Amino acid sequence: MEHIRTTKVEQVKLLDRFSTSNKSLTGTLYLTATHLLFIDAHQKETWILHHHIASVEKLALTTSGCPLVIQCKNFRTVHFIVPRERDCHDIYNSLLQLSKQAKYEDLYAFSYNPKQNDAERLRGWELIDLAEEYKRMGVPNSNWQLSDANREYKICETYPRELYVPRIASKPIIVGSSKFRSKGRFPVLSYYHQSKEAAICRCSQPLSGFSARCLEDEHLLQAISKANPANRYMYVMDTRPRLNAMANRAAGKGYENEDNYSNIRFQFVGIENIHVMRSSLQKLLEVNGTKGLSVNDFYSGLESSGWLRHIKAVMDAAIFLAKAIAAESASVLVHCSDGWDRTSQVCSLGSLLLDPYYRTIRGFMVLIEKDWISFGHKFSERCGHLDGDPKEVSPVFTQFLECVWHLTEQFPQAFEFNEAFLLQIHEHIHSCQFGNFIGNCQKEREELKLKEKTYSLWPFLLDDQKKYLNPLYSSQSQKSAVLEPNTVSFNFKFWRNMYHQFDRTLHPRQSVFNIIMNMNEQNKQLEKDIKDLESITAVSGDRPGGQAESTLTTLGQSDATRPTSC
Amino acid sequence: MEFAELIKTPRVDNVVLHRPFYPAVEGTLCLTGHHLILSSRQDNTEELWLLHSNIDAIDKRFVGPLGTIIIKCKDFRIIQLDIPGMEECLNIASSIEALSTLDSITLMYPFFYRPMFEVIEDGWHSFLPEQEFELYSSTISEWRLSYVNKEFSVCPSYPPAVIVPKAIDDDALRKVATFRHGGRFPVLSYYHKKNGMVIMRSGQPLTGTNGRRCKEDEKLINATLRAGKRGYIIDTRPLNIAQQARAKGGGFEQEAHYPQWRRIHKSIDRYHILQESLIKLVESCNDQTQNMDRWLSKLEASNWLTHIKEILTTACLAAQCLDREGASILIHGTEGTDSTLQVTSLAQIILEPRSRTIRGFEALIEREWLQAGHPFQQRCAQSAYCNSKQKWESPVFLLFLDCVWQILRQFPCSFEFNENFLIMLFEHAYASQFGTFLGNNESERCKLKLQQKTMSLWSWVNRPSELSKFTNPLFEANNLVIWPSVAPQSLQLWEDSEAYLLK
């Protein structure tokens, strides 16, 4: 609380970001230890979590007061006018401090208390169990086994303790390979496709330079290839643009030389790096934040930001991966530079295309836990949870969610969850309210004792499951269905509900979704009524005749006919 | 003339048909006076039944003895026929070309079409002006139905019956007609029951360079104002275009002569600018290989969504003046047959719940487009694949339907009809077995005796079996004014129609 000088300011104006008539609401602004709160004259509350604040800006004083512009990581932009410059300055300074914490322990998750006891909290953390998930995929089996090589994080600090590798890959081979891979991230199993016996594996770039080789690494790749009895070759996907990968060779890194590895098919797929993605999003937000934007400026801005091009590149890579497995039964090894950004995107999206389980609410949580959290996507750095290097911040996970959203648009029946679920997850990767996304790898999370000190997000989402259900979902038709999205440029659209989530004036005014949900609810209720009434008539039918019985019977019959007629 | 003269080869075997979404089929191609039919030989079922009038352009290609005809349709479909034998192919191509470009309207299919369904309600009589006026008459005492144009002599593009202020007699109307482009004197387009304010539409005033005025014209539109109230004139053209129009005898209302009116200029494009926009849009939709940047820049360059935004913005402005400001409005552009009708009809979609029902929307099309003299015959002669660059070909009506679709997307439960209804109207405006969209105005339709000789589209649509296809299951009557968002982020490309091929 030492950062808060002013806790309450009255007569503050909240401007509508897109209104051309400068519409505004007047109300009171409160500053708490965790939130900035605005309550307008109609008692409508706007809560802004300090951790969500990406930037605060104090603009030049105007006649009506001092403007304060706050941009949030969930793409909310608020524009306040504080009557007195002094108050504005106090709030500005406080927010600067509060939005950038220096230590993990100061994050909201460590003080957030949903009034659960220790047992409940622990059960929450056990909800998603990755060992269970590998079992569901069908490993360990005769070709794949659990390796204890990284049990103490000795080989790779950013990998989880439990890793699955080909049964024939011995520990020296693993250790040897890890020394030849950037940050020790050697090839391990990400997803096993049971019926095709093909695997998605992931790693970081090899330290090949211009000519270096590593026999253990070559052996490990061969072992992965051999673990797939159905196919004699495997793909190695380098998700970077060819030029970037080549430039890495000068630094002693690089990519696999096809001559040194037997039976590999090497492929670049050209997804840009985190810096390109960060500035692309920056440009996109600049364009769509413009007041009175013309159609032409919007589309030329959309084009020059390159955002949809990047989304398409990620999607194309995932499709390539899924095709290799589904159509050719070939195993695929995916990497980028460090194997925690683009590799996570491509492996998780590829699995999602292949396996309908990941398109369910619980399956999607498992997928995020596996390919993002456990394999060391650096959430804290990418989301800027702490006051750190701004060059490490990048919307890699946001892009993943956007790719999933595009899939839900193309396959409206294939997903158990709806858009609100994706938006809610996006909200919480930045909120630091739950422990899941805090830290950059499992080892760090264990050191932070997150499971003891914070709560897991997933049980809270599951409790609210109703809000996130897709009414059009048809689980039957999805059995073993591989999604084959069409990636013609024209199928990629601007995700208005993400980037303008809080700009209600830009949204459709009626939601088909809510109506279908309500209709489903009504149907269920009616069906339940029928059952109840039928059971009553059945019971009363056994009794000797009486007046009460006959009334019930007619009631039951008339109700039973209702749903068929509507 | 006999169609047989144009059909050199009526039938070719072993023709292969390729079209989007379907596997290729081999079958027998037949040409009739109005149709191109392909039936596969196996079970004698038709695979394709295409109206010649739906054909926008054709291309021929030859590889050895195999000829290929690529047919580009007005509804944006592209169909390919592989025809064995060069002579057959050439014959078929020249026949299609001749049959799809017949000059005489009376040779068109609607004059030959005999319905296979029972007519429950004759659509020609479904939306008579008298009935429409009847709907209002209890509430609007200051207005009357005038038959001054009974012989189409006062205004050739107006229907025989129009609604005008009671205070203005027919002689005055005749005078006003001489002061307005095409004789299109101001008439009632919409009456807002909530506050008694109205939308009127007309052609531009013929002020010319020396500022001609017409007392009767001023009296006519002032008759719609309440004491002490101002009205708005929305000119759909930018000021400079309106000023240029004076050199050709046109112009706009001078403040000095219309002191109670505030004039607002908007810029809705017309004619070939819209046609070129459509051509560019469909061309880029058809190119599936282009990368993201190229697609976005082509979509932008087509300007299609810019036109949508401008039209919707103007319609919102009109609706706002009426509903929020409580002011009456007069809308016109140059002729008052294109952008004017887009604005008046969309304003009604926004304001009037009835126009969002199937029946009400049909009445709106009948009143604000057909009766109001939108020249369908000229505007819809060609579509996205034409090269003729004729000034009068223009997707004005398609843009209107697209705007309705945009509002429908934003208010998915407020419309009784669905997207298919809009697509159906688009298709029939360009090629149809029904007479509804033939001719350019009521006068031409009368001369063609369409009511006697052809079937109305509404006779077919308004049967329960057809209606069910066009009904929106989520419809819940919404009696409120619906304000759409016109921000670029809220507008979408109508893929099902514009990008027919990609869905």
Looking at CA atoms only, how far is residue B277 from chain A in angstroms?
A: 13
Task: State the residue for tokens 């003729």.
Answer: B388
Averaged pLDDT for residues A341-350: 98
DSSP character at residue B229? -
pLDDT at A554: 41
**A337 to A113, A173, A190, A205, B21: CA distances (angstroms):** 39, 21, 17, 5, 41
pLDDT (tens, 9 = 90+) of chain B, 503 residues, equals 578 788 888 999 999 999 877 888 899 999 999 999 998 867 666 678 999 999 999 999 988 888 999 999 999 999 999 999 889 999 999 999 999 988 889 999 999 999 888 888 999 999 988 888 887 776 778 899 999 999 999 999 999 999 999 999 999 999 999 999 999 999 999 999 888 899 999 999 999 998 999 999 999 999 988 888 899 999 999 999 999 999 999 999 999 999 999 999 999 998 889 999 999 999 988 888 889 999 999 999 999 999 999 999 999 999 999 999 999 999 999 999 999 999 999 999 999 999 999 999 999 999 999 999 999 999 999 999 987 777 889 999 999 999 999 999 999 999 999 999 999 999 999 999 999 999 999 999 999 999 999 999 999 999 999 999 999 999 999 999 999 999 999 999 997 655 443 33
Is the pLDDT at A314 greater than 80? The verdict is yes
Averaged pLDDT for residues A482-511: 91
Q: What is the largest CA-CA distance in chain B?
A: 80
Task: Report yes or no on A486 lying in a domain.
Answer: yes
A515 to B491: CB separation less than 8 angstroms, yes or no: no
Minimal Cβ distance to A489: which of B292, B413, B489:
B292
> Residues of A annotated as binding site for substrate?
273-274, 336-342
Please give the Cα distance from B118 to A169 (Å, whole number).
77
Does residue A198 sit in the same domain as residue A55? no
Minimal Cβ distance to A506: which of B296, B303, B485:
B485
B292 to A312: CB separation less than 8 angstroms, yes or no: yes
Contacts of A406 in chain B (CB under 8 A): none
Residues 498-527 of A with CB under 8 A from B: 499-500, 505-512, 515-516
Task: Report yes or no on A320 lying in a domain.
Answer: yes
Contacts of A298 in chain B (CB under 8 A): 488-489
Contacts of B410 in chain A (CB under 8 A): 508-510
Contact A156, A185 (CB under 8 A): yes
Looking at CA atoms only, how far is residue B19 from chain A in angstroms?
A: 18
B297 to A303: CB separation less than 8 angstroms, yes or no: yes
Does residue A58 sit in the same domain as residue A127? no
pLDDT at A552: 43
Task: Report yes or no on A207 lying in a domain.
Answer: yes
Averaged pLDDT for residues A78-94: 93
B131 part of contact set with chain A, CB < 8 Å: no
Task: Report yes or no on A512 lying in a domain.
Answer: no
Task: Report yes or no on A383 lying in a domain.
Answer: yes
Looking at CA atoms only, how far is residue A242 from chain B in angstroms?
A: 18
Please, what is the average pLDDT of chain A?
A: 91
Minimal Cβ distance to A295: which of B409, B413, B488:
B488
Among residues A448, A477, A504, which one ends one of the domains? A504
Select the residue from A507, A510, A513, A518 to test the B interface by mutation, using most B Cβ atoms within 10 A. Answer: A510
Helices B271-286 & B304-323 angle (0-180, nearest 10): 130
pLDDT at B313: 97
Cis peptide before A140 (omega within 30 of 0): yes
Contacts of B486 in chain A (CB under 8 A): none
Number of A to B CB contacts under 8 A, please give it. 98
Please give the Cα distance from B73 to A540 (Å, whole number).
66
> Which pLDDT band, with edges at 50, 70 and 90, does A511 fall under?
confident
Does residue A164 sit in the same domain as residue A239? yes
Please give the Cα distance from B151 to B155 (Å, whole number).
9
Looking at CA atoms only, how far is residue B289 from chain A in angstroms?
A: 7
Contact A401, A427 (CB under 8 A): no
Candidates B368, B470, B358; CA nearest to B418 is: B470
Strands A188-193 and A198-203: antiparallel
Task: Report yes or no on A566 lying in a domain.
Answer: no
Select the residue from B349, B403, B479, B485 to test the A interface by mutation, using most A Cβ atoms within 10 A. Answer: B485
pLDDT at A553: 41
A235 backbone dihedrals φ, ψ, rounded to 5°: -95, 145
Contacts of A296 in chain B (CB under 8 A): 300, 303, 306
**A184 to A169, A177, A339, A461, B333: CA distances (angstroms):** 16, 8, 10, 35, 71
Contacts of B291 in chain A (CB under 8 A): 309, 489
Does residue A95 sit in the same domain as residue A181? no
Is the pLDDT at A564 greater than 50? The verdict is no
Instruction: Provide the domain limits for residue A351.
Output: 119-504
Does residue A137 sit in the same domain as residue A286? yes
Please give the Cα distance from B407 to B485 (Å, whole number).
8
Minimal Cβ distance to B410: which of A491, A508, A515:
A508
Looking at CA atoms only, how far is residue A221 from chain B in angstroms?
A: 34
Does residue A257 sit in the same domain as residue A318? yes
A489 to B291: CB separation less than 8 angstroms, yes or no: yes
Residue in chain B lying closest to A493 (CA): B492
Q: Domain with A18 in it: what CATH number?
A: 2.30.29.30
B120 part of contact set with chain A, CB < 8 Å: no
Looking at CA atoms only, how far is residue B499 from chain A in angstroms?
A: 9
Candidates B445, B314, B433; CA nearest to B374 is: B445
Residue in chain A lying closest to B478 (CA): A510
Residues 6+ apart with CB under 8 A from B203: B180, B181, B182, B183, B184, B332, B334, B335, B336, B337
Contact B481, B323 (CB under 8 A): yes
Among residues A34, A67, A99, which one ends one of the domains? A99
Candidates B165, B156, B151; CA nearest to B216 is: B165
Contacts of A515 in chain B (CB under 8 A): 413, 474
Please give the Cα distance from A405 to B173 (Å, whole number).
59
Contacts of A514 in chain B (CB under 8 A): none
B488 to A294: CB separation less than 8 angstroms, yes or no: yes
Candidates B444, B372, B377; CA nearest to B185 is: B372
Among residues A489, A504, A519, which one ends one of the domains? A504
Contacts of B277 in chain A (CB under 8 A): none
Which pLDDT tens digit goes with each residue over A28-76? 999 999 999 999 999 999 999 999 999 999 999 988 899 999 999 999 9
Minimal Cβ distance to A492: which of B288, B292, B487:
B292
Please give the Cα distance from B243 to B238 (Å, whole number).
9
Contacts of B490 in chain A (CB under 8 A): 496, 506-508
HEC assignment per residue over A246-259: HHHHCCCCCCCCCC
Which pLDDT tens digit goes with each residue over A108-162? 999 999 988 999 999 999 999 999 999 999 999 999 999 999 999 999 999 999 9
Q: Any catalytic annotation for residue A566?
A: no
A308 to B292: CB separation less than 8 angstroms, yes or no: yes
B227 part of contact set with chain A, CB < 8 Å: no
Task: State the residue for tokens 């390539």.
Answer: A320
B319 backbone dihedrals φ, ψ, rounded to 5°: -65, -35
Q: Which amino acid is located at A197 in the chain?
A: E
- Assign residue A38 a region: left if phi > 0, alpha if psi is -120 to 50, beta otherwise? beta
Please give the Cα distance from B143 to B251 (Å, whole number).
27
The total number of structural domains in chain A stands at 2
Contacts of B487 in chain A (CB under 8 A): 18, 293, 505-506
Does residue A90 sit in the same domain as residue A192? no
Select the residue from B295, B324, B497 to test the A interface by mutation, using most A Cβ atoms within 10 A. Answer: B295
B412 to A508: CB separation less than 8 angstroms, yes or no: yes
A298 part of contact set with chain B, CB < 8 Å: yes
A8 backbone dihedrals φ, ψ, rounded to 5°: -150, 130
A489 part of contact set with chain B, CB < 8 Å: yes
Please give the Cα distance from A236 to A375 (Å, whole number).
19
A21 vs B224, higher pLDDT: B224
Looking at CA atoms only, how far is residue B458 from chain A in angstroms?
A: 27
Looking at CA atoms only, how far is residue A350 from chain B in angstroms?
A: 21
**A446 to A147, B136, B369: CA distances (angstroms):** 20, 75, 71
Which pLDDT tens digit goes with each residue over A422-447? 999 999 999 999 999 999 999 999 99
Out of A66, A72, A336, A383, the active site residue is A336
Does residue A80 sit in the same domain as residue A157? no
pLDDT at B499: 45
Does residue A89 sit in the same domain as residue A133? no
Residue in chain A lying closest to B309 (CA): A295
Residues 393-452 of B with CB under 8 A from A: 409-414
Does residue A27 sit in the same domain as residue A129? no
> Residues of A annotated as binding site?
273-274, 336-342
Does residue A157 sit in the same domain as residue A285? yes
Does residue A393 sit in the same domain as residue A474? yes
Select the residue from B21, B290, B291, B292 to test the A interface by mutation, using most A Cβ atoms within 10 A. Answer: B292
Contact A549, A540 (CB under 8 A): yes
Coil, strand, or helix at residue A266? strand
Task: Report yes or no on A304 lying in a domain.
Answer: yes
Task: Report yes or no on A25 lying in a domain.
Answer: yes
Is the pLDDT at A469 greater than 60? The verdict is yes
